[in-house]
Amino acid sequence: MKMTWRWYGVGNDDITLDHIRQIPGVMGAVWSLHDKVAGEVWEMERIQEVADVLASKNFSPAVVESVNVHDDIKMGLPSRDHYIDIYIDTIRKLAKVGVKVICYNFMPVFDWTRTDLYKEHPDGSNALFYEKALVEGATPKSIVDRILEGAGEKTMPGWEPERLSHLEQLFEGYKDITEDVLFDNLKYFLERIIPVCEEEDVKMAIHPDDPPWPIFGLPRIIRSREHIQKFLSLVDSPYNGLTLCTGSLGPNKLNDIPSIIREFGSRIHFAHVRNVKVFENGDFIETSHRACDGNVDIVEVMKAYHDIGFQGYMRPDHGRHLWGEEKHCRPGYGLYDRALGVMYLLGIWDTLESGVK
């Protein structure tokens, strides 16, 4: 298992590489070109520049998260081949600097969805929160406004203001896209890119839908064991794999995450590990990584990864905002709770490695 940390880049992240390298066990920085919207060309010079910055601090550039997929691909429009060609070009360029895994998602319109970016916990910390009834009674635009207002000037992949300014047109484009149609469009995309991934030795790792249920009538197709099994069968290649996110699958208590890890472990290329506390009314809040603080048994999750001999990349996912850092950090991506999460996850792993029962 190779521990990594998501980093948003020079001038775009208050957490520096010098901060990150003081966290024991972190060997790679998960990166992207966060100013790029879906469908834009990634210039080789920009890619090399980031790879060189990471190398200067002895970090691996092996994982890129958020090479976003253009909506025309998800909708299956005639223009999709143009955008797939650009995506293939990006894969080839990333391979040149040593990228081994690309994390992406196939969620229509919205990426992860929350109703409050700074919901207070009883201990005074705060975290991302999802109020189910509010989403069910809200308009898509009201949710977009809440998210973008909470984010301020911080960039957030999947919530690009330029794209979401055309919200009505996006919903019109997806009005006839059923779950089956979305699966068909995903298959078309994979059939184009996976042969290139095999040539370049770059694995694709799809991120589950967050939350793991349809919202605003939009289909969500990576949200359960059955959906994952269907996805992996679309193109049966080891290069077509998963980013297994415990916090995305976790709000549905029917998802047995340790069992999913054991069943599909050979196709998990990237692991996001975080915890959520799920309330009886369907609301959920992100909490510390500690197993007893939420509904995801993180100890069993790590045991499942250890049992399958997981050799892929892992990172602590969203954490709480601690000690007032919400005043300046990107929602979900503060320093302190994620650093505590790294040490918790590595502590479990070290215990498993030692054979202690």
Give the angle 231-147-160 at the CA atoms, nearest 5°: 65
d(CA 332, CA 174): 29
d(CA 10, CA 18): 11
d(CA 243, CA 261): 11
- Tell me how long the chain is: 357
**Who's near 67: CB < 8 A, 6+ residues apart?**
32, 42, 87, 90, 94, 102, 103, 104
Cα–Cα nearest to 276, from 253, 302, 305, 303:
253
Neighbouring C-alpha atoms within 13 Å toward the C-beta of 72: 14
Burial readout 99-109 (b: 16 or more C-beta within 10 A, e: otherwise): bbbbbbbbbbb
Catalytic residues: 207, 245, 272, 317-318, 333
d(CA 147, CA 127): 13
Pairing status of strand 126-130 against strand 116-120: antiparallel
3-state secondary structure of 243: strand
d(CA 161, CA 154): 11
The structure tokens listed for 156 are 């957030």
